[in-house]
Amino acid sequence: MVAAICRAGGIPDADAAMIADVLVTTDMRGIHSHGVVRLARYLDCIRAGGINPAAEPVILSESANSIMASANGGLGIPATIKVMKRLPLADGLELPVASEKKLARAAEMAGVPLQNSIR
């Protein structure tokens, strides 16, 4: 249902699925302040023109274990996941669940600083 609401708000299918997965998983982990409750704000910002729901991230710089990117005025969840999948260390990972722990084990540390996003 969360993905359907995202799609109705103009968020592309693949991004809507990523957002739904993250928000529902966050609620299931008991972090309700960053779960499905965030969806209303995202949709309000899209309607007001503050978020581009179809924005694609832009890579600003990268190294072996980090990529700095801009969400290009879009939503942080899909932008972060798309950028994380570009990390060489991310091969075979099922993102976003448990990705931080697996990346940390593989390289001590990995990061995706993201700017120009709404999260």
**CATH number of the domain that residue 36 is part of:** 1.10.1530.10
Binned at pLDDT 50, 70 and 90, residue 86 comes out as confident
Residues 6+ apart with CB under 8 A from 27: 35, 36
Average pLDDT over residues 66-81: 92
Q: What pLDDT is stored for residue 113 in this prediction?
A: 78
Average pLDDT over residues 26-44: 94
Distance, CA of 31 to CA of 33 (rounded, Å): 6
Q: What value does the mean pLDDT of the chain take?
A: 84
Boundaries of domain holding 80: 2-118
Q: What is the pTM of this model?
A: 0.80
Binned at pLDDT 50, 70 and 90, residue 97 comes out as very low
The number of domains in the chain is 1
